[in-house]
């Protein structure tokens, strides 16, 4: 990134650009094909180092599952185990929505810093 125009900017300006590029209006879904990571973070090591924690601190996250779907819970556990603790400390909102099949009975659980998941031995 040394030769790019972005790399020539002051860190404060780069951070503002990252913030604008990484903010999601809707909660970021942790789904089968999305590991709660923006494409921008995969462009180069320097961008990832500078912007990854910002991504987790400015967005809300959601995990939607069915009471019957064990693979969903395994996927969530895998996501939690892969991510460093410092990422979780920055998350301001994490929603777990469990849907009961055949009826609209969602259960929401919001805790700062994933206290529910952290209370389990990983």
How far is CA 6 from each of CA 10, 11, 39, 49, 59, rounded to the nearest angstrom? Answer: 9, 9, 16, 14, 23
CA–CA gap between residue 119 and residue 122 (Å, rounded): 9
Residues 97-115 have pLDDT tens digits of 777 666 554 444 444 334 4
> Which residues, including other chains, have CB under 8 Å from residue 15's CB and lie 6 or more apart?
50, 51, 54
Contact 96, 108 (CB under 8 A): yes
Q: Give the model's pLDDT for residue 16.
A: 96
**What's the gap between Cα 12 and its chain centre?**
23
Contact 63, 95 (CB under 8 A): yes
Q: How confident is the model at residue 91 (pLDDT cuts 50, 70, 90)?
A: confident
CA–CA gap between residue 122 and residue 92 (Å, rounded): 21
Residues 10-35 have pLDDT tens digits of 999 999 999 999 999 998 887 655 55
Residues 32-70 have pLDDT tens digits of 555 567 889 888 999 999 999 999 899 998 888 776 667
CA–CA gap between residue 11 and residue 23 (Å, rounded): 18
Q: Between 57 and 74, whose confidence is greater?
A: 57
């Amino acid at each position: 990134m040394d030769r790019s125009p972005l790399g020539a900017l002051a860190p404060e300006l780069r951070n503002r650009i990252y913030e604008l590029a990484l903010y999601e209006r809707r909660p970021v879904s942790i789904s089968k094909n999305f590991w709660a990571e923006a494409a921008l973070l995969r462009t180069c090591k320097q961008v990832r180092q500078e912007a990854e924690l910002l991504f987790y601190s400015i967005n809300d996250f959601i995990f939607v599952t069915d009471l019957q779907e064990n693979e969903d819970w395994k996927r969530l556990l895998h996501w939690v185990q892969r991510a460093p603790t410092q990422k979780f400390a920055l998350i301001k909102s994490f929603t777990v929505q469990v849907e009961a099949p055949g009826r609209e009975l969602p259960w929401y659980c919001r805790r700062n810093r994933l206290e529910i998941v952290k209370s389990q031995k990983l």
